[in-house]
Amino acid sequence: MNLLLVLGGYLLGSVPFGLLIGWGRGVDVRERGSRNIGATNVLRVVGKPEAAATLLLDGLKGAAPVLAARGLAAGEAWVAAAGLSAFLGHCFPVFLRFRGGKGVATGLGVILAALPVVGLAASLVWLLTALCFRYSSLAALAAAASIPVAAAAGGERGPLLALALALPALIVVRHHENIRRLWRGEEQKIGQRAAPVS
C-alpha cells in the first residue's frame, strides 16, 4: 500500500495541468514564453484565470499524496516519500518524456500538507518577495530558501526535515537559467506578456 502511495504520487504529479489548461485555450505553453508548463508561464501566454487554476491544481497534486499518506497513518518516512514523488512527477513527468516544470507550486503544496506552518511561512515569503520585486523566480528562490530554515527553527527532524531540505535544493537547481537571467537583468517580471518563441 505504501509503495502504491509513492507511485500514485508520482503519476498524479506528472499530470501537466498548465499544459492541459493551455490546450483548452488553444495555446501550447511549451512553445511560447519560457516554454515552462507552470503557472507563471501560463499567466504570460494565456491569462490570469488559467494561471490561477494551474497554480491551484499544481499545489493540490502536491498536497494530495501527502494527505493520503497521513490519512492512512503511513508514517513520516512514507509521508515524505509520497510528497517527494509528487514533486518529482511534476519536474520529470512520465507523460511529457520527463520534461516538466520547476516544481514551485507543487513543492509548496507538498510542504503545506506535510508541514503547514513551514508552508505558510514559505508562501508568505513568496508573496512579499513577489510584491516587492515583481520577479516570480526570485520569489520562488526566496520561498525555497525559507523552507529549511523554518523547518529547522520549528524543531523538525527525520524524514520531514529531509523533505524540507530536498525540495528547496531541487527548486534552486531547476531555476538555474532564471538565476542567470536575474544576474544579467534579463528576467521577465510577473505579468509581462510573452511573444511566441521563434
- For residue 47, the one-letter residue type is G
Among 126, 55, 49, 61, smallest CA distance to 90 is for: 61
For each of the chain's 198 residues, which pLDDT tens digit applies? Answer: 889 999 999 999 999 999 999 999 999 999 998 899 999 999 999 999 999 999 999 999 999 999 999 999 999 999 999 999 999 999 999 999 999 999 999 999 999 999 999 999 999 999 999 999 999 999 999 999 999 999 999 999 999 999 999 999 999 999 999 999 999 999 999 877 765 443
Tens-digit pLDDT profile for residues 37-48 = 999 999 999 999
Tens-digit pLDDT profile for residues 151-165 = 999 999 999 999 999
Question: What is the C-alpha to C-alpha distance for residues 130 and 13, in angstroms, rounded to an integer?
Answer: 25
Among 47, 38, 51, 36, smallest CA distance to 177 is for: 36
Question: What is the C-alpha to C-alpha distance for residues 153 and 122, in angstroms, rounded to an integer?
Answer: 13
Q: Delimit the domains of the chain by residue range.
A: 2-184
DSSP 65-133: HHHHHHHTT--HHHHHHHHHHHHHHHHS-GGGTT-----HHHHHHHHHHHSHHHHHHHHHHHHHHHHHH
Partners of 196 in the β-ladder: 32
Phi, psi for residue 77 in degrees, rounded to 5:
-60, -40
CB 79 within 8 A of CB 162: no
Question: What is the C-alpha to C-alpha distance for residues 128 and 142, in angstroms, rounded to an integer?
Answer: 10
Cell representation of residue 129: 518577495
- Tally of CB atoms within 10 A around 52: 14
